[in-house]
Amino acid sequence: MGFGDYPAEYNPKVHGPYDPARFYGKPDTPFGQVKLGELGSWFGRRTKSPQAVAGACSRAWWRWQHKYIQPKRAGIAGFFQLISVSMAVFYFLNYGKIKKHRNYKYH
């Protein structure tokens, strides 16, 4: 599987048109239904390669796009979510410069 190819598990005859927000691998127990005793084995079944992490981030991005940005009558929620996340990221990136401007009482 190279960069930009379909997932190996994807079969167009079985799955139909490709959806970038869908996981085509073997289904597993959702995280919300995992019991505390099974948590270690559940994490052990996850693929921890950089390609798998990038695929998970890509699927999350596309799910968010399909829910908030791409509908015909999309509301303003997606815009505000994007603005809020960008504000938090830039605050984190500039925190070193911002904390130097604190006002202290010297007494």
107 assigned to some structural domain: no
Please indicate, yes or no, if residue 16 is contained in any of the structural domains. yes
Tens of pLDDT along the chain (107 residues) come to 567 788 888 999 999 999 999 999 888 898 899 999 999 999 998 888 888 888 889 999 999 999 999 999 989 999 999 999 999 999 999 999 888 888 777 76
Evaluated on CA atoms 54, 58, 64, 65, the torsion sign reads positive
Residue 69 lies in domain: 12-101
For 82, the token pair is 């994007």
Tell me whether residue 55 is in a domain.
Answer: yes
Q: What distance in Å separates the CA atoms of residue 84 and residue 91, rounded to the nearest whole number?
A: 11
Domain membership flag for residue 54: yes
| Overall number of domains in the chain | 1
pLDDT at 106: 72
pTM score above 0.85: no
Rounded CA separation 56/8 (Å): 15
Write down the pLDDT at residue 1. 52
Q: Does 7 fall in a domain?
A: no
Is 26 inside any structural domain? yes
Spatial distance between the Cα atoms of 83 and 17, rounded to a whole number of angstroms: 32
Report the run of H or E that residue 29 belongs to, with start and end: none
